[in-house]
């Protein structure tokens, strides 16, 4: 799972273009979040594969399979970057006794050639092993007989990894220490949120020796969802901790108010089908809300996502909703303003920085808050955003 995720991340930060012969040509020599200059045809390799493979929603499975084996196939030249990221995800650090023992066992087991009895037969419906991919089916490692610590995840070969990145919990400690009023929502278009919530609840209950919290933080076990039916208003379905029943809210102002009044940690599944049906246009993606007339806002929405970009409206996953209280309407912010709103309401998450710096989220949120203060003082820009948002959505 983790190795596929890292492969997938790399395809989204490596750039190139489709040449006149219809073949892919690399521009990137190393991963970067930013589009290389002086190349109008340049796109990420992930976007290229998406254009090649995905024709309907079910094709995302084939896309994930393709990106998940990237460095074992066409991305072999980028293997060193993959290895560095995987090392950063390891639970046991280099130099420790547990890591030394784990590596010895992994090396011994990895040197054994799988036999016919070792390999588990795969169902015919599963794709054949990708050429060059060394992760062949074997018997489970003896490491699987060891206990799995809090926030640990053991891969098939027995390697122990972090399940939730430690920098996330560093952020919560910081928010508590600075007496912030905050709420955290995991925003995903997948079905991975329940495991996240279960792990987060254990750690926030002070079960992890490296993370102790000054006071308890509630974790909602049941994910909510945001639906964006075509031609209808945005709809939130959510069970909040103080309520026993699922609430269904269809007014965007009420959704905004409900989300900002929450407390603790929740998960929300956003509407992938709506985003897909508009060819990944930002106006049908993950909504966050902002009132340009409120100079003293109660809350500040900040969404981290590695699929947030400001270069193409069909390649961005955040819909900044501009609230117009006079008309009681919310509008998608024109994409032309996204570069000025980046690192205020939305951040393109950088896995390299998250793994290398445990204070990444803290530093980035501080930057977003400083930028937000400057935005609130820029009345001319705020007026333009409000006016053009209304015009764009009425046309």
Q: What's the rounded mean pLDDT across residues 226-251?
A: 89
Residue 336 has pLDDT above 90, yes or no: yes
Q: How confident is the model at residue 114 (pLDDT cuts 50, 70, 90)?
A: low
pLDDT at res. 39: 81
Token pair in block for residue 48: 């290229």
Q: How confident is the model at residue 117 (pLDDT cuts 50, 70, 90)?
A: very low
Long-range CB pairs of 359-366 (<8 Å, 24+ gap) are: 359/167, 359/170, 360/167, 361/167, 361/168, 361/170, 361/171, 361/304, 362/170, 362/171, 362/174, 364/304, 365/171, 365/302
For the stretch 371-386, pLDDT in tens is 999 999 999 999 999 9
- The pLDDT tens digits for 201-223 are 999 999 998 889 988 899 998 99
pLDDT tens digit sequence for 65-86? 999 999 999 999 999 999 999 9
Q: How confident is the model at residue 169 (pLDDT cuts 50, 70, 90)?
A: very high
Model confidence at 284: pLDDT above 90: yes
Q: Where are the domains of the chain?
A: 2-111+128-162, 166-394
Averaged pLDDT, 7-32: 94
Long-range CB contact pairs, 131-135, < 8 A, 24+: 131/73, 132/72, 132/73, 132/76, 133/69, 133/72, 133/73, 134/72, 135/3, 135/72
The mean pLDDT of 347-367, rounded to a whole number, is 93
Which of the four pLDDT bands, split at 50, 70 and 90, describes residue 62?
A: very high
- The pLDDT of 224-245, averaged and rounded, is 89
Contact 135, 156 (CB under 8 A): yes
Q: Can you give the pLDDT at residue 136?
A: 53
pLDDT tens for 266-283 read 999 999 999 999 999 999
Q: Read off the pLDDT of each residue in 352-360 and give the average, rounded to a whole number.
A: 90
pLDDT at position 395: 60
Rounded CA separation 375/353 (Å)? 25
Q: Are strands 160-162 and 183-188 parallel, antiparallel or unpaired?
A: unpaired
For residues 220-228, average pLDDT? 95
Q: Which residue has the higher pLDDT, 130 or 363?
A: 363
Mean pLDDT (whole number) for 339-362: 94
Position 392 scores a pLDDT of 77
Span 26-49, average pLDDT: 91
pLDDT at 124: 37
Q: Give mean pLDDT, residues 13-32.
A: 94
73-77, 136-140, 337-341: range with lowest mean pLDDT = 136-140
pLDDT at 120: 40
Q: What is the mean pLDDT of residues 280-306?
A: 96
Percentage above 70 pLDDT, the chain: 92
Label residue 71 exposed, middle or buried (CB < 10 Å: 0-12, 13-18, 19+).
buried
Average pLDDT, the chain: 90
pLDDT bracket for residue 58 (50, 70, 90): confident
């Amino acid at each position: 799972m983790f190795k596929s995720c890292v492969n997938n991340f790399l395809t989204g930060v490596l750039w190139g273009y489709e040449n006149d012969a219809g073949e892919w040509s690399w521009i990137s020599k190393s991963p970067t979040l930013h589009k290389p200059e002086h190349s109008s045809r340049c796109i990420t390799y992930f976007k290229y594969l998406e254009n090649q493979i995905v024709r309907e929603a079910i094709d995302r499975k084939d896309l994930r399979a393709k990106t998940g084996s990237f460095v074992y196939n066409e991305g072999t030249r980028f293997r060193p970057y993959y290895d560095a990221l995987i090392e950063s995800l390891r639970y046991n650090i280099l130099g420790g006794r547990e890591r030394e023992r784990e590596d010895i066992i992994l090396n011994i087991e990895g040197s054994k050639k799988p036999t016919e009895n070792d390999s588990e037969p795969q169902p015919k419906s599963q794709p054949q092993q990708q050429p060059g991919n060394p992760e062949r089916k074997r018997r489970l490692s003896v490491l699987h007989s060891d206990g799995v610590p809090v926030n640990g995840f053991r891969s098939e070969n027995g390697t122990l990894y972090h399940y939730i990145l430690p920098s996330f919990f560093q952020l919560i400690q910081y928010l508590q220490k600075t007496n912030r009023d905050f709420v955290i929502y995991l925003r995903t278009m997948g079905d991975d949120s329940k495991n996240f919530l279960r792990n987060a609840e254990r750690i926030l209950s002070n079960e992890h020796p490296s993370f102790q919290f000054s006071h308890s933080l509630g974790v909602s076990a049941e994910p909510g969802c945001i639906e964006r039916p075509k031609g209808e208003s945005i709809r939130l379905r959510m069970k909040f901790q103080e309520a026993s029943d699922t609430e269904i809210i269809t007014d965007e102002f009420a959704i905004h108010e409900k989300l900002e009044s929450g407390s603790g940690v929740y998960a929300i599944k956003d509407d992938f089908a709506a985003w897909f049906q508009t060819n990944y246009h930002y106006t049908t993606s993950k909504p966050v809300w902002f009132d340009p007339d409120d100079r003293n806002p109660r809350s500040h929405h900040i969404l981290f996502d590695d699929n947030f970009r400001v270069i193409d409206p069909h390649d961005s996953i955040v819909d900044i909703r501009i609230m117009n209280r006079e008309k009681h309407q919310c509008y998608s912010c024109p994409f032309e303003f996204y570069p000025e709103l980046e690192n205020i309401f939305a951040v393109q998450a950088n896995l390299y920085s998250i793994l290398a710096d445990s204070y990444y989220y803290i530093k980035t949120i501080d930057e977003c808050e400083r930028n937000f203060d400057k935005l609130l003082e820029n009345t001319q820009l705020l007026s333009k955003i409000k006016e053009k948002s209304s015009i764009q959505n009425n046309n």
